Amino acid sequence: MADSVVAFLLEHLSQLLQRETNLLCGVEDQITSLRNELQIINIYLKTSSGNNNNNKEMEQLILSQIRDIAHVAEDVIDTFIANVAVYKRKNLLKRMLHSVGHAKLLHDVAEKIDKIKNTLKEINENKIKYYQDSSDQTREDGMKMQSLHILRSNVEVKDVVGFVHESEVVINRLIGEGSLHLNVVSIIGMGGLGKTTLARKIYNSDKVKKHFNCLAWVYVSNECRTKEILLGLLKHLMPNHEYEGRRNNNTKKGKKKHKELAQDLSSLSEGEMKETIRKCLELKKYLLVLDDLWNRQDWDAVKDAFPDGNKGSRVLITSRLKEIASHTSRDPPYYLQFLSEQKSWELFSKKVCRGEDYPCGLESLGKQMVKSCGGLPLSIVVLAGLLANKIKSHREWSKVVGHVNWYLTQNETQVKDVILKLSFDNLPSRLKPCFLYLGIFPEDHEICVRQLLQLWVAEGFIQETGSGSRDLEDVAEDYLYELIDRSLIQVAGVSDSGGVETCRIHDLLRDLCILESKEDKIFQVCNDNNILIPTKPRRLSIHSTMSHYVTSSTIDHSCVRSLFFSDPNCYISYKEWIWLTKAFKLVRVLNLEGNCCLKIPSNLGNFIHLRYLRINSQYTRFVPDSISNLQNLEILDFGPSIMVISISFPNGISKLKHLRHVYTYGPIMLRGHNSKSDGEVMWNLQTISRIVLNKQTTHHIKKGSFPKLKKLGLLISSNFKGDVPKMLLSLKQLSHLNKLQIIFKVKNWQHKQWDITCNPEEVLQILKHLRQLSILEIINSFNLTTRVIMFPPNITKLKLTCISCLNSDAVNAIGNLTKLQILILFGAKWFSKPWTSDKLFDLNCVEDRFPSLQVFEMRSLPIQNWKLANGSMTQLQTLNIWKCDMLDSLPSELWSLTTLRKIFVQEPSNAMTAFLQNLEVKNGPDLIVE
């Protein structure tokens, strides 16, 4: 991981030389020279990383030396900049009084940088002596990999239960009615899920053996070469044709011939091997299993050895990588899922008891431990093997309960090597820190993808593309999907548009991430059990209360660059804020979960290096002026935008040139005069989750202060005395704006009265001119949809909330949006129930409307009848109906929509429940009722 440390420091130095020339005055030459030296080291790291298998211990030693010296350089420079920033903020008289101290500061940092450069030169000049050829070590590594494969097979195959349904599905894909041409079927899943086990069950089944007259199995692995794969296939194929027929009763003679045959096969060239395989297979209906395929190149290198005799032959592939499946076949892969609780318990019991009766009184403890394994067969088998060798007593098993993952990770041969070594070592270097970073989050935590991607960027993990034109968060999203495709990250939640909204990591993998990160000083997770352990992590994730940690910890935090507090009930007192600002002066990422932050301290601006600030607090109402000192700030996150109670921000926030995203619990209200910020342009700002429409906001928008803004939420209330429609028209100049949220402030919920001075119809009439918009959300719509309305013509997603009525004109207006793909309609159940007849309305969708709609969601709407004409919603794929308890049935035309895949109905009325129970539809969409 030293390469990522050096790469980040290089990027950091380059940014400093561009942005902070006034702070680096006097040491620019030394920093430029240090950067040049690091560039040489970085090239060496990229070319040597992972290529030297001869002396791993020496390689790790030199890498750790490079990492440590890079950290020292980072500390020296960051400390210097923080001190200079304080000096620069002093008035002229105080600067003169401290001029001697400043001169000494310059001298000291220059001296320290020279010492760092000398150390780097020594490493660079002498590194060659650390890499002596060692054939013995190479052979030892090869033997270790071979034993690892044997162990992996034993762990995955032995004592496996279940897979009845799974094997039936895959077998049907192999032998069911389909093309007679050669086809590839893939089983995809994370390490330890039992892909090999399932493939073996299929391979050995009577159905498969009767269907195919030739079967062969080869284990591929990450270390395999083309010739080894071909040789493995030949050893399965050739005995059936040549060796078996030549066996005789002389065992020694038979063994000798077998050995000679193996030697003969090994001497063949790749081309000759392929030709031999083709001859063995060309007249047969065969099944070949390529177990644990890791890269596309291996498939491309061997696929032409498999003839297509138009007999229905198949190739079965197991892999952890989704990209393998999409590369080898057009058919979707079979994704192997985690075991259910019942199957997990069955597997555990079979292994731990070994056919004996289950010990009395241990079942509850056993089930508790099995649950900790999260349905991963590998961890269940290893845990069962551990307990099988212990005395089956309540006392012994109680020692393991609550520490299951710790016990598993101690057996590094079985778990660390099988799951992490193969998966982690095979990752490109750019993905390794991103994957390990997941260990920072609490166990079983659903991780918000947006926050994760932004954290990766803030941490410096994301490398710019060649052109440098792509947004770094888009690149980060690519990294995320790569890790998902490699089965290292699980998808937890999906957005309306189908993107991944939340994710998680398996507990066992998380623990291994923590161990790996601790070794490389990437981060450390601190809980109540290890607060007093002296460490110097670069990133610190604290899983205890802040008050407990502050009063207990005695370690030096000056090296910490990222700080996470994960206590959901966190309360940050004034004294704790003082501790934070003093102990973590050099922090770049500050993530404070919790709900109690009554006041943000006035010295917030002392975090001069801060790039990412998250304070999840609904009670914050005032942000101090000093926030404008955070010149490196990129992400400001005060929690999800839920409330309409504003939070006061200084107008000087426009000085933050690198700020990209601003999220606040309530809408921002800018304070102060505009004259101070005239001419300030925030070129990087892309998101303002919510902001109050007032004079300051209008001024910034009209002056072009946010030219790259993509997402904007506007709260419209009676406090704004200006011309709202005219102001909204100025949004046309935001050429990058593609998502707009309009919030109408409410004066009286019971009578559905807005607290606004403008006519909502005028607002909608203006919005139709915003042709650049693709996503529009209107909160507190009330009866707006009963009036003459127009929407932006190019929107693909429309969300209307708090709807009290919806007439045919509104439905037609929405249905005429030819590009609309997602429609979400929310009612206002909390203030409208119980429904009365005068509050109910019908939903009439006439022919040729909603031509591109794919997702339709309606929640808490007072709909009585839904009519859907033929030719309407012809592209609909997903229908979600939530708590529409006056809707008694669904239109019959739904079942004729060939694109419809899923219907989800939550809390239906009794009549709707009866309707769905009596529904008989063949080959229809999946129907889920809760």
What pLDDT, on the 0 to 100 scale, is given for residue 450?
Answer: 95
Question: Under CATH, to which class is 428-515 assigned?
Answer: mainly alpha
| Region class of 693: left (phi > 0), else alpha (psi between -120 and 50), else beta | beta
Q: Quick one: angle between helices 195-203 and 135-157, nearest 10?
A: 70
Q: Where in the chain is the domain with CATH 3.80.10?
A: 710-929
- Phi/psi for 136 (5° steps) reads -60, -45
Beta bridge partners, 663, equal: 637
Under the banding of pLDDT at 50, 70 and 90, the label for residue 711 is very high
Question: Under CATH, to which class is 163-246+257-335 assigned?
Answer: alpha beta
What pLDDT, on the 0 to 100 scale, is given for residue 611?
Answer: 95
Rounded to whole angstroms, the Cα distance separating 228 from 219 reads: 10
What pLDDT, on the 0 to 100 scale, is given for residue 775?
Answer: 96
SS3 content of the chain, % helix, strand, coil (to 5): 45, 15, 40
Window from 152-161, 423-432, 453-462 with minimum mean pLDDT:
152-161
**Which percentage of the chain shows pLDDT scores above 90?**
26
Q: Quick one: angle between helices 377-388 and 341-353, nearest 10?
A: 30
Window from 261-265, 532-536, 595-599, 792-796 with minimum mean pLDDT:
261-265
Contact 885, 905 (CB under 8 A): no
From the list 559, 543, 544, the residue with the least C-alpha distance to 439 is 543
Q: Where in the chain is the domain with CATH 1.20.5?
A: 2-129
Under the banding of pLDDT at 50, 70 and 90, the label for residue 423 is low
* Identity at 505, one-letter amino acid code: I
Q: Where in the chain is the domain with CATH 3.40.50.300?
A: 163-246+257-335
Rounded to whole angstroms, the Cα distance separating 366 from 408 reads: 15
Q: Give CA separation, 53 vs 125, 417, 466, 531, in Å.
A: 21, 16, 30, 37
Taken in order 606, 610, 614, 620, is the CA torsion positive or negative?
Answer: positive
pLDDT tens across 722-780, in order? Answer: 888 888 888 988 999 999 999 999 888 777 788 888 888 888 888 888 889 999 999 99
DSSP assigned state of 274: H
Rounded to whole angstroms, the Cα distance separating 609 from 673 reads: 27
Under the banding of pLDDT at 50, 70 and 90, the label for residue 391 is confident
Beta bridge partners, 905, equal: 881, 929
* Identity at 731, one-letter amino acid code: L
Under the banding of pLDDT at 50, 70 and 90, the label for residue 92 is low
Run of H or E residues at 834: none
User: 276 pLDDT exceeds 80?
Assistant: yes
Rounded to whole angstroms, the Cα distance separating 262 from 231 reads: 9
Contact 549, 524 (CB under 8 A): no
User: 418 pLDDT exceeds 80?
Assistant: no
Under the banding of pLDDT at 50, 70 and 90, the label for residue 75 is confident
CA 633 vs. chain centroid, Å, equals: 22
Other CB atoms closer than 10 Å to residue 796's CB: what's the count?
18
Pairing of strands 926-929, 902-906: parallel
What pLDDT, on the 0 to 100 scale, is given for residue 95?
Answer: 55
Residue with structure tokens 């020339």? 21
Confidence (pTM) = 0.73
User: 465 pLDDT exceeds 70?
Assistant: no
2-129 topology per CATH: 1.20.5
Q: Is the pLDDT higher at 337 or at 314?
A: 314
What pLDDT, on the 0 to 100 scale, is given for residue 16?
Answer: 63
Burial of 648 (0-12, 13-18, 19+ CB in 10 A): middle
Q: Is the pLDDT higher at 8 or at 422?
A: 8
pLDDT tens across 845-867, in order? Answer: 999 999 999 999 999 888 889 99
Average pLDDT over residues 375-394: 74
From the list 826, 718, 823, the residue with the least C-alpha distance to 776 is 823
Contact 270, 227 (CB under 8 A): yes
User: 189 pLDDT exceeds 80?
Assistant: yes
CA 292 vs. chain centroid, Å, equals: 24
- Mean pLDDT over each residue of the chain, to the nearest integer: 80
What pLDDT, on the 0 to 100 scale, is given for residue 79?
Answer: 80
Rounded to whole angstroms, the Cα distance separating 486 from 652 reads: 45
Q: Is the pLDDT higher at 190 or at 649?
A: 649
User: 83 pLDDT exceeds 50?
Assistant: yes
What pLDDT, on the 0 to 100 scale, is given for residue 236?
Answer: 81
Contact 345, 375 (CB under 8 A): no
What pLDDT, on the 0 to 100 scale, is given for residue 31?
Answer: 74
> End-to-end CA distance of the chain, in Å?
47
Average pLDDT over residues 526-533: 73
What pLDDT, on the 0 to 100 scale, is given for residue 926?
Answer: 83
Under the banding of pLDDT at 50, 70 and 90, the label for residue 223 is low
Helices (H) and strands (E) in the chain, counts: 33, 31
| Region class of 551: left (phi > 0), else alpha (psi between -120 and 50), else beta | alpha
Contacts of 249 (CB under 8 A, 6+ apart): none
Other CB atoms closer than 10 Å to residue 748's CB: what's the count?
9
Contact 336, 166 (CB under 8 A): yes
What pLDDT, on the 0 to 100 scale, is given for residue 662?
Answer: 96
Average pLDDT over residues 883-895: 89
CATH 3.40.50 fits 710-929, yes or no: no
Under the banding of pLDDT at 50, 70 and 90, the label for residue 26 is low
Residue 20: CA atoms inside 13 Å, Cβ hemisphere, count?
Answer: 26
